[in-house]
A and B are shown apart, each in its own frame.
Chain A
Amino acid sequence: MWWTALRNESVKILAKPRSYLGFLAITLLVGVILLALALDGKSYIEFVTSSLQQSLTVEGSMLNGYLVGFIVLQMLVVHLPLLVALVTGDLVSGEAAMGTLRNLLTRPLSRKGLLLSKYGAAAVYTLVLLLWLGIMAVLVSPWIFGVGDLAVLSNEGLQILPSEEVLPRFLQAFVVAFAALYTVACLSVTLSCFADNSIGPIVGTMATIMVFTLIGTLDVALFDQVRPFLFTTHMAAWRSLFLDPVPWGDILFSMVLLGAHWVLLIGIGLWTFERKDILT
């Protein structure tokens, strides 16, 4: 029955116009980024390498599709959580507001099964959205700009990765990015269990991300203990896949922590939903 419920959720997500907003937004945003880099990418690169160029020169084109793809991913890490929450925050509370939740909950389907199917649908949606971003970043960008070594800036400096290693790293990065985004999805679905309208969970999710990000950014000793355990601290863990060598230990820690968030959030959602009075 869980698969049937998941299928039903997928039908609903596919039919909702709101679901396509995220794809449209990604297409437009990536389009803008690609256009900007096509027109002025060289000066962007020169800004990075100006200090190097006093006594060194970079042979080959740093501005290639892989770099553009990496820039696209970095820029959209801020926007993707909102695009995810826009749909997943509506999964329970939207139905409550519409009145269709009572139709579903009077079927011979357990509340737990129904809610788990919504978490499953949220996972599918997040994955598809990320895949679309991946197609735009890792397929369309190289198609326009060509491929080559990937030059990545980080706290550690400039890393230049051989082009043959880049695609596998992107794939791994998407897995880690999915883990982070799905945490956002789980948060919004869980908040959705407490509300009878969609706006609350969406705003609540974004507010949580903003507050946690702020805590992660402020250099206050009080927050040092908490910071490693905030999921927002690990939302950019995918970037570690582009370090050389890859800090697998740190990435594993991030994945475990994000997985723990899934379990916690889904647990809270299930507990709440099982006991919730459906008044709408």
Chain B
Amino acid sequence: MFGLTRLLFFGFVSFAFISTGQQALAQKSAAAASVSMDAETLVNRLVQRSASLRDLAAEVQVQADVPRVKIRPLSATMHYLAPDRFHLQSPRLALLPRQNPMELFEFLKRPQGYRGMLMGEDKVGRHSAVQLSLLPTGTDQDWQLIRLWVQPTSARILQAEITRRSTGTVQMQYFYRSANPPTDPAGLDLPDSLLFEMDASSLKLPKALTADLHRGSPRDAAKAAPRPLQAPDGKARVAMGFRWISKNQGAAARFFKTQKAG
């Protein structure tokens, strides 16, 4: 009697265990099936949003935080004309990332140039996101790997990590004032601010433009040691805040036309 009860108990437990496992497996398969399907869909949605990008103008605030570089925040006017015309209009010097803020959108416009793979779920801040890796197809490209953190429901880019042969790896964080993107799937979903982050450990600057004969006192020598870095982790950061003046309304086109004429 006891043996049968034990057998039944263990059988039940085993069945429960196996069925749970099977269910989990089934769910994972189902999820996997839905994830692989969503990568293509997600890419299409990103492409759809990027395709409409032609002409932008914005007032922009730029703040650069680079080791051993001191530069004040500045206000400027940004003009962007697809595919690659970018200009920051300011009487001041500005330190910007080598890639212009809209380059990612231009890249996304050409889906034949890359293959997308969903790499799982993640969180960016308090937002849920899926991680989408884009591998450029072809061997001769500067772009090596693009990783995007995208809100799956709205196809809103929250974070990007772009690795290029020429510039190394740059991380970008996208910030939006509005909680939701435009309802029109082809509507531009432009960030209100961008934070670029890149490795600056290899940054070397000469100490002077000419010979510094009068090096100074030991106090000067002590001061010459780098100050505590604004970015003690050795990273360079550039923050850009946008106030969009014109989206696809031809402002940039007119600006560049005037420049050419001038």
A binding-site residues for B, Cβ under 8 Å: 44, 47-48, 51-62, 70-71, 74-75, 77-78, 148-149, 151, 153-160, 162-163, 213, 216-217, 224, 227-228, 232-236, 244, 247, 250
Which residues in window 190-243 of B have CB below 8 A to A? 198-200, 202-210, 212-220, 223-224, 226-227, 236, 238
B98 touches A56 (CB 8 A): yes
Q: How many angstroms from the CA of A265 to the CA of B17 in the assembled complex? A: 98
For B67, B93, B199, B204, the residue with the greatest tally of chain A CB atoms inside 10 Å of its CB is: B93
Taking a contact as CB atoms under 8 Å apart, the answer to whether B92 and A228 are in contact is no
Point out the residue from A57, A59, A75, A148 that lies within 8 Å of B210, measured CB to CB: A75
Main secondary structure on B side of the interface with A: loop
Q: Given the complex, which residues of A lie within 8 Å of B94, measured CB to CB? A: 58-60
How far is it, in angstroms, between the C-alpha of A153 and the C-alpha of B68 when the chains are bound? 10
Q: Which B residues fall within an 8 A CB radius of A?
A: 64, 66-72, 76, 88, 90-98, 167-168, 170, 198-200, 202-210, 212-220, 223-224, 226-227, 236, 238
Contacts of A154 in B (CB 8 A): 207-208
- Provide a sorted-by-A list of 20 A–B residue pairs whose CB atoms are within 8 angstroms: A52-B95, A52-B203, A55-B168, A55-B198, A56-B64, A56-B66, A56-B98, A57-B95, A60-B88, A71-B210, A148-B92, A148-B93, A149-B91, A155-B223, A157-B70, A159-B69, A160-B95, A213-B213, A213-B214, A227-B216
Q: A158-B70, A160-B72 are in contact. Are A56 and B96 (CB under 8 A)?
A: yes
Instruction: Determine chain A's interface SS by DSSP, over half rule.
Output: mixed
Q: By the criterion CB–CB under 8 Å, are B206 and A153 in contact?
A: yes
8 Å CB contact of A216 from B72, B204, B214:
B214
Contacts of B167 in A (CB 8 A): 54-55
Beta-carbon contact of B69 and A153 below 8 Å: no
Q: Which residues of B contact A57 (CB under 8 A)?
A: 95-98
Nearest residue in B to A157 (C-beta to C-beta)?
B68
Whether B207 lies near A56 (C-beta < 8 A) is no
A-B complex: 8 closest residue pairs judged by Cβ atoms: A157-B68, A155-B224, A236-B214, A149-B93, A228-B217, A60-B93, A59-B94, A160-B71
Closest CB in chain A relative to B186 CB, distance in Å: 31
Contact partner of B68 (CB less than 8 A), chosen from A48, A148, A158, A232, is: A158
Are A158 and B69 closer than 8 Å at their CB atoms? yes
- B12 CB, nearest partner CB in chain A, Å: 61
Beyond contacts A58-B93, A227-B218, A250-B219: 13 other A-B pairs, Cβ-Cβ < 8 A, are A47-B206, A55-B199, A59-B88, A59-B93, A60-B90, A71-B209, A71-B210, A148-B91, A158-B70, A162-B92, A227-B217, A244-B70, A244-B72
